[in-house]
Structure 1
Amino acid sequence: MRPVFPFTAIVGQEEMKLALILNMIDPKIGGVMIMGDRGTGKSTTIRAIADLLPQIEVVSDDLFNSHPSDFELMGDTVKQKIENEEVILTSSINVPMVDLPLGATEDRVCGTIDIEKALTEGIKTFEPGLLAKANRGILYVDEVNLLDDHLVDILLDSAASGWNTVEREGISIRHPARFVLVGSGNPEEGELRPQLLDRFGMHAEIRTVKDPSLRVQIVEQRSKFDQDPYFCLEEYKTQQDALKQSILDAQDILPSVTIDYDLRVKISEVCGELDVDGLRGDIVTNRAAKAFAAYKGKKQVDVYDIKSVITLCLRHRLRKDPLETIDSGSKVKKVVNETFALDLDT
């Protein structure tokens, strides 16, 4: 295994790191869209969060990383074995981290059916695609704004439903495809269509670090890792283990986290004031606030939790006005400040 730069050694880019951590705690938030300048560590950070996560238990020799007991995360073959009371062998694997290349075809993404074998032998042989490999893991699309729109549609539909269906020549195969979709891109190379952007749960904007001392620190960290990656990993082992445990603890208490009705109304009030289309903004903000509260070890969401995540959840859902001078993130903070009567800078 090639060593991966430790997540806790990454300097700055707090928005991106928080969005990724919250999606690891609750994958149903809906993924992260990371837009920012070139060379700001987008890919490094995404690979680092995957390497940080604890191993998962899967059914041995299964094409879809099926969960041994959760029906929502297992393929039909495993379900049949359980119903027939057959013995299920399991093994532990690292959380899958799948890169989707820009030139990928639909068959490569979704998988395909061996038509010749199906016709000659009457056997449905499924050749899994990237969605199958990414089940229960992370699917990363670099330069997502350059990906064909129909492929982005497929990815977002699978991420939202948790299932992928392949239809070929009258043969249909359905398999679990529950993953955290992470896209990254440079705004200079083109924007995503608003209806596609809206499907990402959170949106993080990152900028090149301007502070000279921080830039030096980043360069030194990278140089140290390149010279001796294993020493660097050992140096950050304590921080890595602590963050890993925090994510596990947050996942455990997440189902018991609650959010008061009054706060839910305030969230919807903010979405209405910002003229956010649809209800995805309300749903994602509620989920993200619960995940943040769980990350902080709390079972009750408060205003601080909401203000910490709401900009990430709503910024990309605002209607673009070419004459608007205020930044979308600042606009969200302004409305939240007025609605919750809090100073967000404190």
Structure 2
Amino acid sequence: MKVFAVVSQTSGRRPVFPFTAIVGQEEMKLALILNVIDPKLGGVMIMGDRGTGKSTTVRALAELLPEIEVVTGDPYHSDPHNQDLMSDEVRDRKRSGDTLPVERRQVQMVDLPLGATEDRVCGTIDIEKALSEGVKAFEPGLLARANRGILYVDEVNLLDDHLVDVLLDSAASGWNTVEREGISVRHPARFVLVGSGNPEEGELRPQLLDRFAMHAEVRTVKDPKLRVQIVQQRGEFDSNPQRFLAAHRKAQQELTRRIAKAQQVLKKTEVSHDLQLKISQVCSELDVDGLRGDIVTDRAARALAAFEGRTRVTLEDVQRVIVLCLRHRLRKDPLESIDSGYKVEKVFRRVFDLPPPETNAAQ
């Protein structure tokens, strides 16, 4: 296994609060890590109160990730070894026997602003140049920049539904296609889609919410001791970022190594048929539409097992991810007062013959 070093924060970029120093919000952190280990999971929706560290955590994750090899000069960060992660131009060059120049680069984290247009997101085709010069003059958009990286949409519940559809379609297919006046251009667009928002400002439509693999809920920390710890850490970071980063460098490097190792172990992980049956039974009893819930729970449990260094998924792995994977897929009853996470946990425990959850689990 290759060992990757965490990129130094002293390279002129604005220092980012380290992921390993973030206190609490374990549910959000776990969901993000699992999607990085297996980018095919399908992304994370993070919903919670203002000021709970959603944006800070996502940006911290990007700084933590291993470097990747890319083809030098390629705007899509094509993988020089994997044809599924190459643009059409790079694939043609490789097939013709060209030697592809390679460089290592930090994984990109791209912010999608709320006011972005579809051209800004998907890219544009210069029709005049295409017709006059006979070339596909394509100006890549944010999806191109995010390929093999993270695409972060803050306040995703305020984003135009059409743009959310475009993002989810690209994330699911791994390709972005732009068509205009009979000219078509496509490029790879495989990224981890992370959306965040405040439920007070509105929810996503159920059809769109279901497309996110996992749904993490974050709440304001109530424990006074933890609140004081968070305030103190933030003060230390703001007063001397480099010293704070140095104090957490070892933990950051260790987590980076765990993620890199898990990406390799993931290929060997297995889920027993009995566990798969019971996962599907939980989905069935919860009346979850479609099969996305079954598939995502299976993949998330595999990613968690790999993160723990195991090749066999256990019941505990399923228990840790199933609420994240299913809570947002339930049909909502406006008169229902029980939290959806509690309902998933209750059915899970019944199917797996475990003691029922405590009633305060919904708090």
TM-score, normalised with respect to structure 2: 0.94
Q: Is the 8 A contact 1:60 1:91 kept in 2?
A: yes
Q: Is the 8 A contact 1:292 1:305 kept in 2?
A: yes
Match of residue 8 from structure 2: none
Match of residue 94 from structure 1: 106
How far, CA to CA, are the matches of 1:344 and 1:187 in structure 2? 28
- Pick from 265, 288, 297 the counterpart of residue 285 of structure 1: 297
1:1-346 aligned at under 5 Å gives the runs: 1-343=13-355
Secondary structure in structure 2 of the residue aligned to 1:300: coil
How far, CA to CA, are the matches of 1:325 and 1:75 in structure 2? 49
How far, CA to CA, are the matches of 1:80 and 1:335 in structure 2? 51
The alpha-carbon distance between structure 1 residues 344 and 32, as it changes in their structure 2 partners (threshold 3 A), is farther
Residue identity over aligned pairs, in percent, reads 69
Secondary structure in structure 2 of the residue aligned to 1:33: strand
Structure 1 segments (4+ residues) deviating >3 Å: 343-346
* 1:171 Cα deviation after fit: 0.5
Q: Is the 8 A contact 2:345 2:357 kept in 1?
A: no
How far, CA to CA, are the matches of 2:109 and 2:218 in structure 1? 22
How far, CA to CA, are the matches of 1:250 and 1:87 in structure 2? 30
Q: Counterpart amino acid of 2:122?
A: C
How far, CA to CA, are the matches of 2:238 and 2:337 in structure 1? 42
* 1:343 Cα deviation after fit: 3.9
Secondary structure in structure 1 of the residue aligned to 2:332: coil
Secondary structure in structure 2 of the residue aligned to 1:178: coil
Unpaired runs of at least 5, structure 2: 1-12, 359-363
Q: Is the 8 A contact 1:307 1:344 kept in 2?
A: no
Q: Is the 8 A contact 2:350 2:356 kept in 1?
A: no
How far, CA to CA, are the matches of 1:124 and 1:281 in structure 2? 40
How far, CA to CA, are the matches of 2:73 and 2:314 in structure 1? 44
Secondary structure in structure 2 of the residue aligned to 1:57: strand
* 1:344 Cα deviation after fit: 7.5
Secondary structure in structure 1 of the residue aligned to 2:75: coil
Secondary structure in structure 2 of the residue aligned to 1:284: helix
Q: Counterpart amino acid of 1:20?
A: L
How far, CA to CA, are the matches of 1:181 and 1:72 in structure 2? 19
* 1:342 Cα deviation after fit: 2.0
Q: Counterpart amino acid of 2:204?
A: L
How far, CA to CA, are the matches of 2:88 and 2:315 in structure 1? 43
How far, CA to CA, are the matches of 2:257 and 2:283 in structure 1? 34
Q: Is the 8 A contact 1:96 1:137 kept in 2?
A: yes
How far, CA to CA, are the matches of 1:196 and 1:165 in structure 2? 20
- Aligned CA RMSD, in angstroms, stands at 0.9
The count of corresponding residues between Structure 1 and Structure 2 is 346
Unpaired runs of at least 5, structure 1: none
How far, CA to CA, are the matches of 2:257 and 2:281 in structure 1? 35
How far, CA to CA, are the matches of 1:3 and 1:278 in structure 2? 43
How far, CA to CA, are the matches of 2:322 and 2:356 in structure 1? 11
